[in-house]
Amino acid sequence: MDEYSLIKSKIDEIDSLDLINQRWDSGAFVAWRQGVLRILDRIFRSNSPQYKDFYKIQYYNPMLFTTIDNLALYKKGIEQAKHTLESFLSELDIQEPKRAREIANEITLVKKKIIKTIEEKELLSKNLFDLKLKLFSISADICSDQDQLQSILEINDFNKTIELSSILISKYNRSIVIAEQFKDEIDKVIKNKNLLIELEKLQTNLEIAYSKNIEKEKNIKENIKKRVKGEPNKNSFFNNKEKYDIFIAYYRDTASDFAKHLHRGLSKNKYKPFIDIIDIPNTIKKDTDKWFKYRDNALLNSKYFAIILTEGCELSPQLKKEINLAFGQSLITKLLYKHADLPSDLSIDCEGIKLNLKEYQYTTFETSEELLRSVLKEFKKS
């Protein structure tokens, strides 16, 4: 079971085990909580913010004197635990493109190692054959028995080759020099033979790792492809299937007016833009897990991703998450718009990528109208 499915199974157990109607000291709850902590330790490690956030959720307070108060605290803790685990699902969703890139890099490295190992094996096999001929030559100098000599070349097992050659050298040896030379060649055969065995083991392990990584990459790409196409993801707990022409990413503190003006202007020109503060239904509480999930699905179902870069944008955690998610989608066209007041070497360090303006094409703007004209111009190109 993958990381996402492990966490999802624990969320499902909240209902299947009816934990909301249990107590903080019930066997079912204690076992469930310990199971979640083991999974979080495996995925994020025990010193991670995710592990600590879940661990510190309070289900019981000895300072509360009544059982009723503690039961209320317990139910509140269960709800908080569920929302916390759902937020971890969103994190894993966003991390998938990054993991796909990492696995693709691993596949490339493993493939190179396999090729190098095969080349080294071929070279060693040639060296072993050459050494075998040399043993035959040395044996021929001291032995006239042609049948025994021929068997040295015909035997494929190098251990038997060495054994037979040793018998010959012991039986017919008339020269100390030949004996020493023979011993050196046998040592070379043994050394090369052992190296060949190690290389064969290495190749087997590399091929197993290669196959596993290929399967991982395939699964991750299928999940990403489903989201890009707007198909329901079986691992998603909240889906927004709307299709949008453009997703507008911005920093609320300094770019809200620019974003709203761009949204209005694109709508008037018959385009379908998405901006979180306008297009997410009011029935979804702002800045909750469901709210962010709705936003992320809108991004994944958009043709264009436009980033409005204004003062302080590099400090926005949510903008960084949007950038990281968008840049993991090869089918979404990215558009960068930098306000004239910002430096041209602006850099935003996101979790999966580092967005450095020196490495990307961008358009500079000063006014809201200028920003709108730039985006419309980009649309007309396509």
Q: What does the block give as tokens for 26?
A: 């019930």
pLDDT of residue 215: 78
Which long-range contacts (C-beta less than 8 Å, at least 24 apart) are formed by 47-50?
Answer: 50/88, 50/91
Chain-wide mean pLDDT for the chain? Answer: 80
223 and 127 both lie in a single domain: yes
Domain tally, the chain:
3
Instruction: Say how many CA atoms lie within 13 Å of 85 toward its Cβ.
Output: 28
88 and 161 both lie in a single domain: no
Phi, psi of 356 (to 5 degrees): -110, 120
162 and 186 both lie in a single domain: yes
Residue 152 near residue 164, CB atoms below 8 Å: yes
Confidence of residue 217 (pLDDT cuts 50, 70, 90): confident
Q: Considering the domain boundaries, does residue 236 fall inside one?
A: no
pLDDT, tens digit (0-9, with 9 covering 90-100), for 281-321: 888 888 888 898 889 889 988 999 999 999 999 989 999 98
Residue 106 near residue 215, CB atoms below 8 Å: no
Confidence of residue 233 (pLDDT cuts 50, 70, 90): very low
Last residue of a domain, one of 33, 61, 94: 94
Asked if residue 229 has pLDDT above 60, the reply is no
What 3-state DSSP class applies to 262? helix
What 3-state DSSP class applies to 330? coil
Quote the CA–CA distance of 178 and 117 in Å, as a whole number. 35
Q: Is pLDDT larger for residue 45 or for residue 184?
A: 45
106 and 88 both lie in a single domain: no
Q: Considering the domain boundaries, does residue 272 fall inside one?
A: yes
- The DSSP 8-state label assigned to residue 231 in this structure reads P
80 and 121 both lie in a single domain: no
Residue 131 near residue 189, CB atoms below 8 Å: yes
Claim: this prediction has a pTM higher than 0.85: no
Q: Is pLDDT larger for residue 293 or for residue 258?
A: 258
pLDDT of residue 164: 58
Q: Considering the domain boundaries, does residue 238 fall inside one?
A: no
pLDDT, tens digit (0-9, with 9 covering 90-100), for 136-182: 676 665 555 555 555 555 555 555 555 655 665 565 555 555 556 66
